Structure 1
Amino acid sequence: MLTPFMCGYNRGMANADQSTLVRDLLATAGRSYAAEAGIELTDKPAPLYQTMVLSLLLSTRIKASIAVAATHELVRSGLGTARKMRAASWQERVAALGRAHYVRYDESTATALGRGAQLLLDDYGGDPRRLRARAAGEPARVRELLRAFPRIGPVGADIFCREVQSIWPELRPYLDVKALDGARLLGLPTDAATLAPLVPGEDLARFAAALVRVALDKKLAGTLRQSNG
């Protein structure tokens, strides 16, 4: 029979085990997708727009590494703002996507990128911060406004909010279904309210990205659990 002291001791051991697992998770996979794409995410129009592009590309049925590479190539090619994306020809967008091997959806994606850039310019002057202001601090409203953009559906909106919670604190904690899937595979809490306090608020975007990587790579989940077994 466990005494109250023993129960407290076991809870303490569990918390220590979780802390070690989370530390190892962040060390292994705790890089945001924006950072991986070469986006220095700050609360400015260009990096926020680039994160919108990343969210669109990641939300299709294609490898995350290819979507990240395609975002980097679009920015490297000078299409890192809504104005420059709109000004580029459809063929220029297709070519940039092709150079990053984003070929399965390249033509439809090039069209969506052009239309999305036009919408951002028309409704928000090319500045995603105005979308934030229109949402008035309501995460659900941010998601709703994002979903008005071509090809940014529920998945794309989740990706954007996961990433920008590092600089838009009103979105925290943003741990969506995919991140919670990763938490389940690691034996971590599977509700955001319990999971979020395992890291400081400023690390939530990295934490969410790491959990998503676990959800996408069962081998990574096994390796982390084995090393913390």
Structure 2
Amino acid sequence: MTRPERARRLLEEHGLTYAEEAGFRLRNTPSPLYRLLTLCVLLSARIKAGIAVSAARELSAAGMRTPRAMARASWQDRVDALGRAHYRRYDESSATALGDGAELLLDRYRGDLRRLRAEADGDPGRIRGLLREFPRIGPVGADIFSREAQGVWPELRPAFGTRARDAAARLDLPKTSGGLARLVAGEDLPRLAAALVRAEQAE
């Protein structure tokens, strides 16, 4: 099986992005971008990815799909939503981080992550750096955001991150982001990055 064929098989078997699993279609508009940021905050804790995704869905179901709605919700409302998804142990600190992050987004970018993108002026490293100014977003969270958002922010391409590249090496696929990017069309890069991470988790 050739490497492009192996990549296509990965897309078929594991090519579901975290945004898709959380129940929303990522677009370059404020609410989906904010929901991705929320998801990255939740995925950054030492907790199973499936639980973090469920927590994102609960927050969305409770109406917290914009930074203004997140900031207006009470701390207890956030804790309760996380608890319904069994997001235990990190529920209280994550509820605080989400509230503080929403306030930061409103104050600095008027609630729109596209303004963060504009401030970065097309520099992927700067985008990651600005993302890491949000509570709980570290290198892992910035990597996840970049992997998912490269579908709508092309300047992030190719974004695979350490985990995806390590998985690629074990699957005898290219070990560099550039090499992986040549295996699929540009619009499929987020799905390939997700597929590599999921394939690693399935081992």
TM range (shorter): over 0.9
Q: 1:73 — aligned with what?
A: 58
| Backbone CA RMSD of aligned residues | 0.8
When structure 1 is superposed on structure 2, of 186-195 and 86-95 the one drifting more is: 186-195
Matches within 5 A, 1:155-194: 155-194=140-179
Q: Alignment length, in residue pairs?
A: 203
* Displacement over 2 Å in runs of 4+: none
Q: 2:191 — aligned with what?
A: 206
Shift of 1:19: 2.0
**CA distance in structure 1 between the aligned counterparts of 2:9 and 2:177, rounded to whole angstroms:** 20
1:46 and 1:80 in contact (8 A); partners too: yes
When structure 1 is superposed on structure 2, of 18-27 and 133-142 the one drifting more is: 18-27
Q: Deviations over 1:173-215 (max 9, x none)?
A: 0011011011022111111121210011110000000001122
SS at match of 2:151: coil
Q: Deviations over 1:15-70 (max 9, x none)?
A: x5212211111001001110110121111000000000001111111000001111
**CA distance in structure 2 between the aligned counterparts of 1:114 and 1:130, rounded to whole angstroms:** 19
1:38 and 1:72 in contact (8 A); partners too: yes
SS at match of 2:71: helix
Q: 1:145 — aligned with what?
A: 130
Report the structure number with the largest CA radius of gyration.
1
Q: Tell me which amino acid in the other structure corresponds to 2:154.
A: P
Q: Taking every aligned residue pair, what percent have the same amino acid on both sides? A: 59
Which consecutive unaligned segments of at least 5 residues does structure 1 have?
Answer: 1-15, 219-229
With the length of structure 2 as denominator, give the TM-score of the two structures.
Answer: 0.98
Q: 1:64 — aligned with what?
A: 49
Please tell me whether residue 18 in structure 1 is matched to residue 19 in structure 2: no
Q: Tell me which amino acid in the other structure corresponds to 2:62.
A: S
**CA distance in structure 2 between the aligned counterparts of 1:209 and 1:194, rounded to whole angstroms:** 16
Matches within 5 A, 1:91-110: 91-110=76-95
Which consecutive unaligned segments of at least 5 residues does structure 2 have?
Answer: none
SS at match of 2:47: coil
1:66 and 1:100 in contact (8 A); partners too: yes
